[in-house]
A = this chain, B = another copy of it.
Amino acid sequence: MTSDCAACPVRRDSFCQTVPARDLKAHSKKRSFVEFKPRQTVMVEGEPATSLFIVTCGIVKLLRSLPDGRTQIVGFRQAGEYFGLGERDTYTTSAEAISGTRLCRFSRPDVAAMRRALPQLKKYMNRESLRQLTAAQDQVLLLGQMTAREKVANFLMVYGYRAPGDTARPQRLAKLPMSRSEIADFLGLTVETVSRMLAALANEEIIAIGQKTHSVHVLNPVALAGAARPGVAIARHAG
């Protein structure tokens, strides 16, 4: 169950840390790993909800769509987080791999059995769904009240984390795993506006944008926090 991808940071309180792989194995009959390439669909909104997915490696986006094609990303899921089974017997979101992704898939009865047998798993899932609720409320505040500049700054505060082991000066951020249009769909903006806001922040020397890779480097974390409004941040992995 542990991530075998050194680049994927796993939260300390995550699934993998809470429930050792061997315990899961003992109680799950149909556990199976699934791999997804970038842009590949994992599940589709409205289809029967049969599986619970746990991210082992990579990053997945959860999305909701309107009939006319407008799409909103309601959250991201990273290593150690789960998605899939929820309130209803159909999936309430679609899911798509952003980077190359490895997921652990459990059938509904397996999940029920494991929840019964492993109290620490049940506890983890309850805590995690509360965390996802708080993150979704963060996103509601962001979408409902913030300006485009504030939205982008907040996004960078949360998702522009430094890669582990990166000690370079000036402080630099890892290449964002998501594209400009994914950032836009998450923030309720257009690609053009996201690009303009990044350009503006770069112009103020708060960030620098990599010439070739489009990666984002934070030059002035304090000013970035100011642009995001102090005391306000969306939780990582909103959802």
Contacts and interface: CB of A to CB of B under 8 A. Distances in A.
Given A133-B129, A230-B67, A232-B66, A188 B74 contact: no
Given A143-B140, A144-B72, A145-B72, A86 B130 contact: yes
B130 A66 contact: no
Interface residues on A, range: 35 or more
A87 B232 contact: no
How many identical subunits does the complex contain? 2
A229 B140 contact: no
Nearest to A63: B141
Interface string A86-118: 111000110000000000000000000000000
Contacts of A143: 140, 143-144, 188
Contact of A133 (B67, B133, B187, B188): B133
Nearest to A129: B129
Nearest to A130: B87
